[in-house]
């Protein structure tokens, strides 16, 4: 008899909804194979209200309720939910799935939400880069004290395994450094400049396709890449690098002629994030680099690529073709499978 895996969704936007859509299909089968049955006991949003029901919510009804300007209120059971903190304090769940917007300057209020959930004894799974970049070490320590998990595969390269790969498949190995091309908006813009489009047109395309951050300055000025660099440095190199310590240069000012001249010389300009151990310190930097065509980071289009430099395996590359909301939703499933294993082992 499978046990319930009670899931609370804090955030029900692009990623949260795609995850919910798949929870009844392929994700259900993956979780059942781990001996659990997913049960969504809470959904919280900013503008559509929240719903709590410890017997399990009808996920399809939740998806219907938030279409347009609809509300979750009719599905809610109990006193009204006053805030995200109130939701975390009251939801009956094994795991909080946190998919609220990333704040690139402070990582809040997501970091507080993770802390509250772990303190209450919930496992936390998130695609939000903020808590990972700003407070991973503290949150992991808190999770360990509470004998719970804080997992964040979706913070970098969506569901392509990065953190789980190193943690679960590369035992005894040290990551010495990394370089990555991890921001889909800048990739798209630079590829389109190579195809003769203007910077503004390429940015508008990225916005229309929904790949740009809500404030595109976060992509163009390298904030998104800096957060990912910190998440990698903190998650893979055991560092505590703060995003403000990242040497950061974005892609503003790059024009078609500059990019095309580089291409004629066999180079592609891409926004590269690097992390390197220097003695006892780890440095993270973000800047446009002229990469030889054929370099793993020099793909065209929205692909993401990461190369890890390790002591026992030399270089290991990870490539993610395209970068879509489906792939981010999959990261949540991958982490929930780890949570499910922890629950069934201690059952
Ligand atoms: N989209 C991607 O492909 C992708 C890829 C990698 C990582 N991520 C990360 O995944 C996270 C979610 O992304 P997304 O695209 O799903 O964002 P989104 O579409 O903007 O959805 C965010 C959700 O959070 C809710 N929310 C915001 N503030 C809240 C609060 N204080 N309390 C409760 N709910 C709150 C919003 O409510 P309303 O619905 O009422 O607005 C919405 O449901 C972000 O951190 C993002 O950086 C996304």
> How many A from CA of 45 to the centre of ligand 1?
9
Q: How far is the CA of 189 from the centre of ligand 1 (A)?
A: 23
pLDDT (tens, 9 = 90+) of the chain, 347 residues, equals: 789 999 999 999 999 999 999 999 999 999 999 999 999 999 999 999 999 999 999 999 999 999 988 999 999 999 999 999 999 999 999 999 999 999 988 999 999 999 999 999 999 999 999 999 999 999 999 999 999 999 999 999 999 999 999 999 999 999 999 999 999 899 999 999 999 999 999 999 988 887 787 788 999 999 999 999 999 999 999 999 999 999 999 999 899 999 999 999 999 999 999 999 988 899 999 999 999 999 999 988 778 999 999 999 999 999 998 878 899 999 999 999 999 999 998 65
130 CA: nearest ligand 1 atom:
45
Centre of ligand 1 to C-alpha 177, Å, is 30
Q: Quick one: which atom of ligand 1 is closest to the CA of 102?
A: 45
Tokens linked to 67 = 């279409």
Residue 347, pLDDT score: 52
Angstrom distance (rounded) from CA 299 to CA 234: 26
As a whole number of angstroms, the distance between CA 323 and CA 329 comes to 11
Nearest to 42 by CA among 78, 5, 76, 2: 76
Could you tell me the CA-to-CA distances from 200 to 206, 255, 256 in Å, in that order? Answer: 10, 10, 11
Q: What lines the ligand 1 site, CB under 6 Å?
A: 10-16, 44-48, 84, 99-102, 127-129, 154, 158, 325, 328
Res 346: pLDDT: 62
User: What is the pLDDT, as a whole number, of residue 211?
Assistant: 77
10 CA distance to ligand 1 middle (Å): 9
DSSP one-letter code for 289: E
Going from the Cα of 146 to the center of ligand 1, the distance in angstroms, rounded, reads 26
| Residues 6 or more apart in contact with residue 307 via CB below 8 angstroms | 178, 179, 180, 296, 297, 315, 316, 317, 318
Distance CA 158, CA 324 (A): 8
Alpha-carbon span 151 to 168, nearest angstrom? 13
CB 36, CB 2: distance < 8 Å: yes
pLDDT at 339: 98
């Amino acid at each position: 008899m499978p046990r319930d895996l009670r899931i609370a969704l804090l955030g029900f936007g692009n990623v949260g909804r795609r995850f919910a859509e798949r929870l009844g299909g392929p994700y259900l089968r993956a979780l059942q194979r781990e001996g659990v049955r997913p049960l969504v006991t809470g959904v919280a949003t900013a503008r559509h209200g929240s719903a709590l029901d410890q017997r399990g919510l009808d996920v399809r009804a939740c998806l219907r309720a938030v279409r347009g300007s609809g509300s979750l209120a009719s599905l809610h059971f109990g006193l009204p939910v006053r805030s995200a903190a109130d939701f975390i304090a009251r939801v009956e769940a094994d795991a909080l799935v946190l998919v609220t917007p990333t704040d690139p300057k402070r990582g809040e209020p997501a970091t507080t939400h993770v802390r509250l959930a772990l303190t209450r004894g919930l496992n936390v799974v998130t695609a939000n880069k903020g808590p990972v970049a700003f407070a991973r070490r503290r949150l992991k320590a808190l999770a360990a004290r509470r004998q719970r998990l804080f997992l964040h595969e979706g913070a970098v390269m969506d569901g392509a395994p990065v953190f789980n790969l190193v943690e679960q498949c590369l035992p005894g190995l040290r990551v010495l450094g990394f370089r990555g091309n991890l921001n889909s908006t800048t990739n798209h813009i630079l590829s389109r400049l190579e195809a003769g489009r203007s910077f503004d047109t390429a940015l508008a395309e990225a916005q229309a396709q929904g790949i740009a951050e809500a404030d595109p300055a976060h992509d163009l000025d390298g904030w998104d890449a800096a957060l990912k660099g910190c998440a990698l440095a903190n998650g893979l190199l055991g560092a505590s690098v703060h995003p403000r310590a990242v040497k950061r240069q974005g892609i503003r000012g790059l024009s078609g002629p500059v990019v095309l001249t580089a291409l004629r010389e066999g180079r592609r300009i891409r926004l590269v994030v690097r992390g390197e151990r220097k003695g006892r310190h780890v440095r993270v930097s973000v800047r446009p680099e002229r990469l030889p065509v054929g370099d793993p980071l020099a793909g065209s289009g929205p692909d993401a690529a990461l190369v890890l430099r390790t002591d026992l395996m030399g270089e290991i590359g990870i490539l993610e073709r395209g970068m879509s909301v489906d792939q981010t939703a999959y990261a949540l499933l991958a982490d929930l499978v780890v949570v499910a294993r922890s629950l069934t082992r201690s059952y």
